[in-house]
Structure 1
Amino acid sequence: MLEVAKEAAHIAGAYLKERFLEQLVPDEELHNDVKLPEDKESERRIIEVLHRHFPTHTIFSEEVGMVSRDEEYLWIVDPLDGTNNYFIGYPYFSVSIALQHKGDLVLGVVYNPVAGQMFWAEKGKGAYLNGKRLSVNDRTDETRAVGTYIRGRNSVTKEQELDFTRPFVLRTKRLLRNVAPALDWCLLANGWLDYIVMQRSGIMDVAAGIVIAQEAGAAVTDWEGTPYRHEPFEQDKNRSLLVSNGRLHETIRGLIRE
């Protein structure tokens, strides 16, 4: 199943990379989002690969929604993680594919085709980037910490975002807003980022990243400090999570309460 997920991500990613430098024409441009035909085509290619190998599996993908079949296996697909980045020519986007088995996340693949970065993990077997084992860093000084902020598309206003992120901007080295959530989790898994704060965002956007970060040793909790426990996927359910290298976790969690 891991190899099939990699195959699907690679095929979709190659298509997205080929189209990346073109002048893209959106199907629809919204206040906080954009709809691209490339998103749908990437999705079509991923679903074709998954159903060719696993015709009985259920798939949830951003554009087509739930394609219900066997409920034991559910593939959670984001065919273009970072659509707005892709649209404006900013090379920070990925293909994200996760597998839920009997309600538990067991596999994640995130592919950044521009950088040639294939991240993957299976539960209990570690996380990898192009075959190299991943591990979070050991930073302890919050003034040197670099993090990212992820918020739900329509669940947080810009005014709320500004108020909430102020302590992180002032107290840590840098807070980024990359708008490609799955890829953010992978950067943390490889020690490039120190923390991620996620505010009322859908699990679909980060499902593959969760597996990869956890297998790399990341601490994942809700804002109250309760360890993350995956619940069977629900399309409209948002979560607020804190992810870190573990050593900075309580310090960063303190900034949420400020």
Structure 2
Amino acid sequence: MNPMQLEAALAAAREAAEAAAEVIRHYWNRGVAVEIKSDDTPVTVADREAEQAIRKVLHAALPDAAIYGEEFGLDGARDGLLWLVDPLDGTKSFVRRTPFFSTQIALMDRGELVLGVSSAPVYGETMWASAGGGAWLGGERVQVADTADMAQASISTGNLKTLAGDARWQTLAALVRDSNRIRGYGDFCHYHLLARGSLDLVIESDVNILDVAALAVIVREAGGIFTDLDGQALTLDTRSVLAGTSAIHAQALRRFVGA
């Protein structure tokens, strides 16, 4: 995509996220019934209507782009331009009246992530980024911290069930021991904190690409590094995350790869 096309696509993604926010706020205020999907995860009318609102905006803006959404699957081909959409990431939090949920919208151009919008309407934050355009919170450009020493690092974790079942659990234990502090903000929140310099490392082992694609663009454009736990670039099959400042990510990756 050329810069003008990318700018237009980012504007569409932000518009789509706001359309979803209107749906989500509506159901947040009135409450919803909860259904259980075949994978034992919850879904609500808010998830479905938010995705429909997003798809309407994105299709109008880029009618030739495919859309891969959490609730309605893939519409179009995966090669070329592909929107990645999770309309309500954190449904479990949403239904339990905890404001740690968000709308995630990213765009892939021939396998490369080029923009992302992360909107947390009840929490009260929206971040966005595009390739080469920096990462933004509201009207302010954000940057990761310059932390270089693990003894000074703040680490946040989430979704660690898989990690708990293999040898890397001991690697995580060593990181906890050697770091300055450990937290578990989870979902969008710890990536927002990382991108604006309030955390230094995020570790997750049970994710879906729709959960983290937009956040990866944001963290990278804020100057951070975002890979899986093996140090590999994100793909549609990514299931883990290691994201952090350049120095702290490198130190953590050496430990995990050697585990």
TM bucket (normalised to shorter chain) is 0.7 to 0.9
Task: Give the AA of the match of 1:216.
Answer: A
Summarize the Cα distance change of 1:221–1:127 in structure 2 as closer, same or farther, 3 Å threshold: same
Instruction: Tell me the secondary structure at the aligned position of residue 247 of structure 1.
Output: helix
Deviations 1:203-248 (A, max 9, x none): 2210001111101100234445x4x4344xx3xx234332111232
For 2:162, which of 131, 156, 161 is the aligned residue? 156
Q: Which amino acid aligns with 2:65?
A: H
C-alpha distance in 2 between matches for 1:37 and 1:67: 20
Q: Measured at CA, do residues 31 and 48 of structure 1 come closer, stay the same or move farther in structure 2, by a change above 3 Å?
A: closer
How big is the shift at 1:59? 0.2
Q: Are the aligned partners of 1:200 and 1:238 in contact in 2 as well (CA < 8 Å)?
A: no
> Is 1:243 matched with 2:209?
no
1:28 shift after superposition: 1.7
Equivalent position SS for 1:56: coil
Residue 209 of structure 2: which of 179, 203, 206 is its match? 203
CA contact (8 A) 1:82 1:179 kept: no
Aligned counterpart, 1:229: 233
Residue in 2 that maps onto 1:127: 135
CA offsets, 1:44-98, max 9 Å, x none?
Answer: 1111111122222210000111011584211000101111111111111111100
Residue segments in structure 1 that go unaligned for 5+ positions in a row = none
Of residues 164, 171, 184, the one that matches 1:177 is 184
Q: Report matched runs for 1:50-61 at 5 Å.
A: 50-61=58-69
1:46 to 48, 54, 77: 54
* Pair 1:148–1:21, CA change in 2 (3 A): farther
Please say if 1:253 is aligned against 2:253.
yes
Pick closer, same or farther for the CA change 1:33–1:173 going to 2, 3 Å: farther
Structure 2: tracts of 5 or more residues without a match: 1-8
Match of residue 113 from structure 2: 105
Q: TM-score by structure 1 length? A: 0.84
Q: Distance in 1 between matches of 2:254 and 2:139?
A: 36
The aligned length equals: 249
Per-residue CA deviations over 1:7-53 (Å, capped at 9, x if unaligned) read: 00011012212322444320127896322221111111111111122
The reply to whether residue 6 of structure 1 matches residue 14 of structure 2 is yes
For 1:68 and 1:141, the matched residues in 2 are separated by 45
Alpha carbons 2:206, 2:240 under 8 Å: kept: yes
CA distance in structure 1 between the aligned counterparts of 2:148 and 2:218, rounded to whole angstroms? 22
CA contact (8 A) 1:167 1:255 kept: no
Q: Could you tell me the TM-score, scaled by structure 2's length?
A: 0.83
**Cα distance in structure 2, aligned partners of 1:217 and 1:186:** 13
Which residue is 1:89 aligned to?
A: 97
Amino acid at match of 2:16: A
CA deviation vs aligned residue, 1:166-196 (integer Å, no higher than 9, x gap): 334433344333441x443232111122101
* In 1: Cα distance, 2:178 partner to 2:25 partner: 37
Q: Which residue in 1 is equivalent to 2:193?
A: 187
CA distance in 2, matches of 1:57, 1:77: 13
Greater shift in the superposed pair: 121-130 or 166-175: 166-175
128-137 or 28-37, which deviates more: 28-37
Q: Give the 3 Å change call, closer, same or farther, for CA 250–71 of structure 1 in structure 2.
A: closer
Cα distance in 1 between the residues matched to 2:248 and 2:77: 42
Q: Percent same amino acid among aligned pairs?
A: 31
Partner of 2:4: none
Cα pair distance change 1:123/1:94, threshold 3 Å: same
Question: 2 CA distance for matches of 1:74 and 1:185?
Answer: 22
Residue 83 of structure 2 corresponds to residue 75 of structure 1? yes
What amino acid does structure 1 have at the position aligned with 2:148?
T
Establish whether residue 217 from structure 1 lines up as the match of residue 223 from structure 2. Answer: yes
Aligned equivalents of 1:201 and 1:242: distance in 2? 11
Aligned residue number for residue 41 of structure 2: 33
Larger relative strand fraction: 1
